Amino acid sequence: MAYLVFVTVLWAFSFSLIGEYLAGAVDSDFAVLTRVTCGALVFLPLIRWRGLAPGLLLGVMVVGMLQFGVTYLLLYRSFAFLNVPEVLLFTVFTPLYITLIDDAFYRRFAPVALLAAAIATLGAVIIRYDGLSPGFLTGFLLMQGANAAFAAGQVGYKHLFRFYPTTVPAWRYFGFFFLGALVIALPAFLVFGDRTMLPATTTHWAVLGWLGFAASGIGLFLWNRGACLVDAGTLAVMNNALVPAGLLVNLVIWNQDANLARLVAGGAVIGLSLWVNARFSRYARLRLA
């Protein structure tokens, strides 16, 4: 639990840094590739190449492809259509995906999660009740893809150790996580990247360095480590702890003029969806210990 709390604080600044300094100024595919490369530089020198099950290593790579590669490519693109508070609020769907994917691993089905998702969608509409532009809907759908990929990566990482138990420390093979992310990030930049929007200032490089080495390298390792030490319900709760932390940072430091009435109203409905899921689902375990 301590790992998850620490990373929540670490990540609280990430959304605002992306939205305020990188979105629209630095190519999103290059930004993701830079973050992957920084994380790889931290863990690749520590890799243990022998004595580990091939299935475990392949699984960690797939988790990296989902949780970092796909998630961040979609997340960065969403900033072209949404502001920082909206991106943060729309991450609250992640626990619902965690519930559904975890149920799939155990071959069970929780229809309450789908009801909760519908209520959460209503909350998202309230946030932009003055009109749902095509751009807004695009951003919303991009965030749902990012949420689903991030959830699949977290749950998949937890369940890897059910199938491939090992006493080797996770940091000895976590480099494969970034190799998997690189499989997604490098081709994405080569095919879709805009080479006219590379970092042009010291601030751009500083933000990318912080996001790459701290938020991605250290943050993702500790988050996945923490995910393995708690149940799926607690993991779902901690995914949403990022929302108030990130919103507080953004509203206090960068966005004091945000429409708080819409954010609170829509956020309350989305919060209701989470309560419905926690209260009526047989499998939603939300204890924090």
Band (117; pLDDT cuts 50, 70, 90):
low
pTM of the model: 0.78
Closest CA to 180 of 39, 257, 66, 56: 66
Instruction: Flag whether pLDDT at 239 surpasses 70.
Output: yes
**Residue 288: pLDDT over 50:** no
| CA pair distance 233, 160, nearest whole angstrom | 18
pLDDT of 99 > 50? The answer is: yes
Confidence of residue 190 (pLDDT cuts 50, 70, 90): very high
Q: Which residue is listed with tokens 């799939």?
A: 104
pLDDT the model gives residue 124:
64
- Smallest CA-to-CA distance from 50 within 180, 173, 157 is with 173
CA-to-CA distance for 121 and 75, rounded, in angstroms? 18
More confident residue, 116 or 73: 73
State the CB neighbour count (10 A cutoff) for residue 97.
Answer: 22
pLDDT higher at 49 or 288: 49
- How far apart are alpha carbons 195 and 75 in whole angstroms? 20
Angle in degrees, 0-180, between the axes of helices 232-249 and 94-105, rounded to the nearest 10: 160
Q: Is a pLDDT exceeding 80 seen at residue 204?
A: yes
DSSP element (H, E) containing 105: helix 94-105
Res 287: pLDDT? 36
Q: Is 1 helix (H, G, I), strand (E, B) or coil?
A: coil
- Residue pLDDT, tens place only, 49-92: 787 888 889 999 999 999 988 998 898 888 888 877 778 778 87
Q: How far apart are the first and last CA of the chain?
A: 7
The DSSP letter of residue 241 is H
The mean per-residue pLDDT over the stretch 214-242 comes to 78
> How far is residue 262 from each of residues 4, 155, 208, 242, 254, measured CA to CA in Å?
29, 32, 31, 19, 18
- On the question of pLDDT at 281 being above 70, the answer is no
Q: What is the predicted pLDDT for the residue at 86?
A: 77
| Of residues 52, 47, 43, the one with CA closest to residue 164 | 52
Q: In whole angstroms, give the CA distance from residue 40 to residue 42.
A: 5
* Top-confidence residue, 250 or 64: 64
Of the chain, the percentage scoring pLDDT greater than 70 comes to: 82
Secondary structure (3-state) at 170: helix
Q: Which residue has the higher pLDDT, 284 or 273?
A: 273
Question: Mean pLDDT over residues 151-160, rounded?
Answer: 88
Rounded Cα gap, residues 207 and 23, in angstroms: 12
Of 76, 95, 56, residue with least CA distance to 177: 56
pLDDT at 280 over 80: no
Structure tokens at 119: 């209520």
For residues 191 and 211, give the distance between their C-alpha atoms in angstroms, rounded to a whole number: 23
What span, in angstroms and rounded, lies between the C-alpha atoms of 259 and 127? Answer: 9
pLDDT value of position 283? 54
CA atoms of 68 and 65, how far apart (whole Å): 6
